[in-house]
Structure 1
Amino acid sequence: MAQPELKRELANRHVQLIAIGGTIGTGLFLGSGKAIQQAGPSIMFTYFIVGIAVFFVMRALGELLLSKAGYQSFTDIAEDYLGSRAAFITGWTYWFCWIMTAMADVIAVGVYVQYWFDIPQWVPAIVCLIILLGLNLLTVKNFGELEFWFALIKVITILALIGIGVILLIMGFKTDAGSVTVRNLWEHGGVFPNGISGFLFSFQMVVFAYVGVELVGVSAAETANPEKNIPSAINKIPLRILFFYVGALFVLLCINPWTELSPAESPFVKTFTLVGIPIAAGIINFVVLTSAASACNSGMFSTSRILYNLSKKQQASSHFAKLNKNHVPGNSLFISTLVISVGALLSKLIPEQAFGIVTTISAICFIWVWGVVLVCHIRYKKTRPELQAQSKFKAPFTPFINYVVLALFAGILIIMLFASETRPALLFTPLWFILLFMLYPNRSKREKSSSIATNIK
């Protein structure tokens, strides 16, 4: 009997909005407050630099995914070019990446709900997880529809913010913090008010802001017509970076002097409060709440699919490869959601530090995954020139740009070592890779034993 497979139920509009949703999330709506406090107005340069680097990662991933019809995720690519051990480590690390990211998102859900209700952060976090789990257990189309509408809300919000900001600039509007003017970008200590060190220390949170952009690749197995939809989604990333990140931050920093923004709250909500529109501030808080739920939804989707793929490759329990009647990996989804719920526990135990810890670990692990994509692309160009010659979606400026981006990622990790807030997570995270390196041989031995037993029978 043929085994059920994942369904290709994601249409072009789903893929396009998943791409947008993956690049607009908690890192921008909440994390940017902390990044602004570190870098001041120079944060716009940080978002631009990391955004362009991520675009080149995505171009490399897109070319690799379309070079072979059998690829369902970049773990398949890692196995092809770097071996099964690298695929094992990368696959489990990607799962861990999204576990940490989703933890950050459920923590953010608790923070946003406290804007209206004085209740413990962990309560709305658990409620959010239960609702999303129920919806994701139905069909992959539900995931696509959820992301479509969540992302649409984000886009409309940022468009409204930019539009209102431009109007306020033209009017010369005055808030409690002063005039709305472009001069706010340099009149409060300059563009680099905390020096180069503040600018450099902001890179960690900005890296976290971009996590999820590679969901275009993860969703390849469930995308109708990937040859058309994936390149289309990837090629629009630079415009989205310039508009949704740099454009939104430009408007925010013109309306508010950067000194008025708190790292503990969303600068988007704070902006509308300063403008004197409390009702709008409440609406924006609802929007950033849906954004966090959207990012958590993406986390549940990606962790379940990566666990499903690991199981199919016998790198995880066979139970995780089982699909329910709706062709959704229910067991993988359930166990991933259970682990994500630890984020709610962290928000109860260490509410002040929880968000910073999980975002740092997430950023470090995503740098590993993105780095693996770039290294695989370098290997692809060297060892498969015939495939590269036939490619209809060639990554530009390679392999030179691959080395440049890898050097940038290495530099960001070094910077994290010098920041007191990120150093503990940076020193802890290598233990995860050591654990995976040690577990892989044991998995290989079990596979061989299983194969021998099967042959005897």
Structure 2
Amino acid sequence: MEQQELKRDLKNRHVQLIAIGGTIGTGLFLGSGKAIELAGPSILLAYLIIGIAVFFVMRALGELLLSNAGYQSFTDFAAEYIGPWAGFVTGWTYWFCWIMVAMADIIAVGLYVQYWFDIPQWIPALICLIILLGLNLLTVKLFGELEFWFALIKVITILALIIGGTILLVIGFQTDAGTVSVKNLWEHGGLFPNGITGFLLSFQMVVFAYVGVELVGVSAAETANPQKNIPSAINKIPMRILFFYVGALFIILCISPWTQLQASSSPFVQVFSLVGIPIAAGIINFVVLTSAASACNSGLFSTSRILYNLSSHKQGPARLAKLNKNHVPSDALLTSGVVVSIGALLSKLIPEQAFSIVTTISAICFIWVWGIILISHIRYSKLRPDLREKSTFKAPFTPFINYAVLALFVFILIIMLFAEATRLAVLMTPLWFVLLILFYLFKRKNSK
């Protein structure tokens, strides 16, 4: 029987926009409000530090993916360079990460629609999920098109904010909160108004803001020209981080003193309102709606491909390794969709702190995935110096930068353990890894 393969139908523009879409999401549009409350203007430095760390993770990921055309995702090289258990645990953990993110985002879709229509939030949430599932079942090219347009809306919004904000900054525009000025960065308690503690506590939400940047790696198996497109997408990440995160938040903090921004709502909505755009709230509500839909779309895509990959390697149900006539892992996609819908219904019954718990668990699990990428790259450099020598996309400063970023991730986990808002999630998350290890040992024993 001929081996089924994922179809390489993603073009360069799809990969580039998937990379942008992966780095602009709910974490930036909504989570930045909470991060600003904790860190004040020093949030710019927090985004810069984590952004640099994520870039080095992506360079390691890019080199590993391009070292073997057979790799479909980072679970493949984790299994090869660390051990089968690492591939198993990382694969299922990545699936779990995106399930959690998709749950949060699909609930957010329902909440955003309620801004216009007084209907139960589960109705638009379920409709959105069904539409995304239907489109993803057709072809991978449709996933690329969806992300292309979703990302375009985000980009246009942030461009409008940065260009408009720069003009206001140059002319010294007066808002209800005062004059638009760079002085707003330090005239309200300094750059670190809440001290080093507030700065460090913001790292959890900043990490969550970057989740999804590695989606370029998951889409590698379906990229028409990975040798060209993957390096191109990864090398543009630093500029995107500087522009979309640091640039956008810099303008926001110049338009309004950080003390005037409320953590409970998007700072993007608030600054558009401050400069006197009457329909600002509606415009930004539409943007965050599409952002949440985009994140859910990415979640369905990545979870289905992870399930397909795990099942193809006999680490999941064999049925999930089947592709439909459009070369889409339909059973894996539907399975993820069902789990997301159940999670959304359950999450609806949990109080508001559930979103914080879900995002924290997601951030911890993504730190695991990023850490495994770095460790795999260290092992690859030691065990396959021949491939390292031939590589046309070598990750810089190896292995020193790998160890430095790993140390940063451990430090962030320690901070999250001591923070009251994230402590419960940090203590709960190890249970997931214990269950996975037990499941892996059980499965290995049965296979023997």
For residues 258-310 of structure 1, what are the alpha-carbon distances to aligned partners after superposition, in whole Å with 9 as ceiling and x for unaligned? 12222221111111112221213311221121011111100000000000000
Aligned residue type for 2:181? T
Distance 1:383 1:446, change over 3 A: same
Q: Secondary structure at the match of 2:410?
A: helix
Q: Secondary structure at the match of 1:278?
A: coil
Q: Secondary structure at the match of 1:323?
A: coil
Distance 1:143 1:414, change over 3 A: same
State how 1:274-423 maps to structure 2 within 5 Å. Answer: 274-423=274-423
Aligned residue type for 1:4? Q
The separation in 1 between residues aligned to 2:337 and 2:80, in whole angstroms, is 30
Matched, 1:117 2:114: no
Give the drift of 1:213: 0.5
Give the drift of 1:4: 2.4
2:40 aligned residue: 40
Contact 1:121 1:347 in 2 (8 A): no
2:150 aligned residue: 150
Give the drift of 1:122: 3.1
The separation in 1 between residues aligned to 2:202 and 2:74, in whole angstroms, is 28
Contact 1:106 1:343 in 2 (8 A): no
Q: Secondary structure at the match of 1:277?
A: coil
Aligned residue type for 1:414? I
Give the drift of 1:110: 2.8
Give the drift of 1:351: 4.5
Give the drift of 1:350: 2.4
Give the drift of 1:238: 0.3
State how 1:1-150 maps to structure 2 within 5 Å. Answer: 1-150=1-150
The separation in 2 between residues aligned to 1:119 and 1:194, in whole angstroms, is 40
Unaligned 5+ residue runs, structure 2?
none
Aligned residue type for 2:142? N
Aligned residue type for 2:281? A
The separation in 2 between residues aligned to 1:229 and 1:328, in whole angstroms, is 21
Contact 1:20 1:240 in 2 (8 A): yes
The separation in 1 between residues aligned to 2:119 and 2:424, in whole angstroms, is 30
Give the drift of 1:27: 0.5
The separation in 2 between residues aligned to 1:113 and 1:446, in whole angstroms, is 48
Give the drift of 1:119: 3.7
Give the drift of 1:182: 1.2
The separation in 2 between residues aligned to 1:275 and 1:335, in whole angstroms, is 45
TM-score, scaled to structure 2: 0.98
The separation in 1 between residues aligned to 2:278 and 2:115, in whole angstroms, is 12
Q: Secondary structure at the match of 2:420?
A: coil
Give the drift of 1:343: 4.1
Aligned residue type for 2:393? F
Q: Secondary structure at the match of 1:137?
A: helix
Q: Secondary structure at the match of 1:395?
A: coil
Q: Bigger shift: 339-348 or 29-38? A: 339-348
Aligned residues: percent identity?
78
Q: Secondary structure at the match of 1:422?
A: helix
Q: Bigger shift: 168-177 or 331-340? A: 168-177
Distance 1:165 1:245, change over 3 A: same
State how 1:251-262 maps to structure 2 within 5 Å. Answer: 251-262=251-262
Matched, 1:234 2:239: no
2:249 aligned residue: 249
The separation in 2 between residues aligned to 1:94 and 1:325, in whole angstroms, is 26
Give the drift of 1:245: 0.3
For residues 146-166 of structure 1, what are the alpha-carbon distances to aligned partners after superposition, in whole Å with 9 as ceiling and x for unaligned? 001111111111111000101
Q: Secondary structure at the match of 1:116?
A: coil
Contact 1:357 1:425 in 2 (8 A): yes
1:451 aligned residue: none
For residues 424-447 of structure 1, what are the alpha-carbon distances to aligned partners after superposition, in whole Å with 9 as ceiling and x for unaligned? 000000000000000112212333
Q: Bigger shift: 366-375 or 150-159? A: 150-159
Give the drift of 1:172: 1.5
Q: Secondary structure at the match of 1:394?
A: coil
2:181 aligned residue: 181
Aligned residue type for 2:24? I
The separation in 2 between residues aligned to 1:108 and 1:269, in whole angstroms, is 16
Aligned residue type for 2:221? A
Aligned residue type for 1:137? L
Aligned residue type for 2:61? L
The separation in 2 between residues aligned to 1:117 and 1:370, in whole angstroms, is 40
The separation in 2 between residues aligned to 1:264 and 1:149, in whole angstroms, is 28
Aligned residue type for 1:99? I
The separation in 2 between residues aligned to 1:159 and 1:188, in whole angstroms, is 27
Q: Secondary structure at the match of 2:9?
A: coil
Aligned residue type for 1:443? K
For residues 384-411 of structure 1, what are the alpha-carbon distances to aligned partners after superposition, in whole Å with 9 as ceiling and x for unaligned? 1111011100000110000000000000
The separation in 2 between residues aligned to 1:33 and 1:102, in whole angstroms, is 20
The separation in 1 between residues aligned to 2:81 and 2:263, in whole angstroms, is 42
The separation in 1 between residues aligned to 2:375 and 2:73, in whole angstroms, is 15
Q: Secondary structure at the match of 1:328?
A: coil
The separation in 2 between residues aligned to 1:260 and 1:34, in whole angstroms, is 13
Q: Secondary structure at the match of 1:421?
A: helix
